[in-house]
Amino acid sequence: MKKKILIINGPNLNLLGQREDDIYGKDTLENIKNASETKGKSLDLTIDFFQSNNEGEIINKLHEVEELYDGLIINPAAYTHSSIAILDSLRAINKPKIEIHLSNIYSREEYRKKSITSEGVNGLICGFGTNSYILGIEAIAKLIYN
């Protein structure tokens, strides 16, 4: 059966394209969704794309991963730096998991240099703009198929 992955996007990522485009680029979340689906098809992966500004909704979505998906990519956005609840949900998932960020969080403000959520994933990709999503899909394919 075709493998299925979930891509979760956290708060304010619905504003991409108009929000601090010098940092996050000009692509909208819809552009990124389309690029992700195209990349997914080339690797024989079905992609579900989800965005929420609400921590509880993200956690409820994470609870679906174990049963419904073969892997997870998450950009927790600002929750990266604060959410032990999302970290705990990630730790409960026994599937390949990758954290991604558009920007290089290690070259920005001090408070962005700590990712709490990355302690619950296999690995982290950041700093490549929209391509962080594409690289994330390549990486999750390797974790799922190899």
Place of tokens 């098809």: 41
Out of 63, 101, 106, 133, the active site residue is: 101
Establish if 112 lies at the interface with ligand DQA (CB under 6 A).
yes
DSSP state of 114: -
- Which residues lie below 8 Å from residue 18, measured CB to CB, with a gap of 6+? none
Token pair in block for residue 42 = 């080339």
101 is catalytic: yes
Token pair in block for residue 66 = 């174990």
Q: According to CB under 6 A, which one of 78, 85, 116, 143 is a site residue for ligand DQA?
A: 78
CB of 20 to ligand DQA, least distance (A): 9
Establish if 80 lies at the interface with ligand DQA (CB under 6 A).
yes
Q: According to CB under 6 A, which one of 47, 105, 124, 141 is a site residue for ligand DQA?
A: 105
DSSP 3-state of 124:
strand
Q: How far apart are CA 99 and CA 17, in angstroms?
A: 21
145 is catalytic: no
- For CA atoms 136, 29, 13, 56, the dihedral sign is negative
Nearer to ligand DQA, 122 or 130 (CB): 130
Stretch that binds ligand DQA, among 61-69, 96-104, 116-124, 137-145 (CB under 6 A): 96-104
List active site positions: 24, 101
- Interface ranges with ligand DQA (CB under 6 A): 12, 75, 77-78, 80, 101-103, 105, 112
